[in-house]
Chains A and B, each alone.
Chain A
Amino acid sequence: MLPSIPTDFTPLASLAGGILIGLSAVMVMALFGRVAGIVGITAGAVTQDDRTWRIAFIGGLLAAPLLWLAATGGFPVQTVSASPVGMGIAGLLVGAGTAFGSGCTSGHGVCGLARLSMRSLVAVLTFMIFAAATVFVLRHVL
């Protein structure tokens, strides 16, 4: 778990970034007729017959920081916990939970809410509450 590192409140950049994420989700619907859930795309890149666009989509995700580097001369600012145990457990839980619950922040969050799916709304409220509770316990209780 990372210690608390202050970050700036960035409503405009965050809104603009969110709109880009939304445009990408709309592109995936317009081109392929699918929701843009990252876990679904990741699993489908291996398991689905129609895997070309999914593999290319993940390639695009990986290319984004490189384009950012080329355009701005530096990688985006980020602070990642280096705890092998913490990040190992976090990765397992995120992968297993999203695969088992059929969706992540993009599949249930962005695309599910945009489809007005009650199932996705329940999933979003559940993972938000558990995430906030986990941060509370790790930062303020332990």
Chain B
Amino acid sequence: MRAVGGFLAGLIFGLGLILSGMANPAKVLNFLDIAGSWDASLAFVMGGATITTYLGYRIIWRRPAPILSDGFALPTRRDIDRPLLTGAALFGIGWGIGGFCPGPAWTALPMAATGTLIFVPAMLLGIVAGRGIARKAT
């Protein structure tokens, strides 16, 4: 059940990325290029996703527990610290260079474009490095 549920959620997420255009780096970079070939489409992706999630979460949270787990495990931190800002800034620079954030990079992988085949292993290496540095810093 857990595997089926996880797979279906990932599949729906990936189809959403493709349908919305987020799996196409050219479209993402045009969204970020406000001074040039601006394509505002991705504002609709963020809007649709966030509003749906906002409403859905509030329905789900009325339950005492999730369907396949003992309890809800939500992020609890509220502080705005230096790692949050540094990490977000580094991520933004990388996103602006490649046009990929983590979800679209995974979904684009089976299409095997040269750039994707370089990006995904580099991203996984980066995750390992970033977690290592974060662990040392605390």
Q: What is A's interface to B at a CB cutoff of 8 Å?
A: 1-2, 4-11, 13-36, 38-39, 42-43, 50, 52-68, 75-84, 86-102, 104-106, 108-115, 117-119, 122-124, 126-136, 138-140
Contact = CB atoms under 8 A, between A and B. Distances in A.
Main secondary structure of the interface of A (DSSP, over half): helix
Given A99-B87, A100-B90, A57 B9 contact: yes
B91 A98 contact: yes
B36 A78 contact: no
Contacts of A77: 24
A89 B97 contact: yes
B127 A122 contact: no
Contacts of A4: 29-30, 33, 36-37
B45 A26 contact: no
B123 A95 contact: yes
Interface in B18-52: 18-27, 29-30, 32-37, 39-42, 44-52
Interface residues of B, number: 117
20 contacts: A2-B25, A17-B16, A22-B52, A32-B5, A60-B8, A60-B14, A76-B18, A83-B115, A86-B98, A90-B100, A91-B120, A91-B123, A93-B126, A97-B86, A99-B130, A119-B79, A126-B89, A129-B92, A133-B96, A140-B36
A96 B127 contact: yes
Nearest to A27: B9
Identify the interface centre among B6, B16, B129: most chain A CB within 10 Å of its CB.
Answer: B6
B52 A32 contact: no
B92 A53 contact: no
Contact of A118 (B80, B99, B128): B80
Given A13-B20, A26-B56, A135-B32, A78 B88 contact: no
Nearest to B71: A33
A100 B86 contact: yes
A82 B110 contact: no
A96 B133 contact: yes
A29 B50 CA distance: 14
Given A66-B110, A94-B119, A111-B53, 7 more contacts: A18-B45, A20-B20, A21-B52, A87-B119, A93-B126, A109-B46, A132-B33
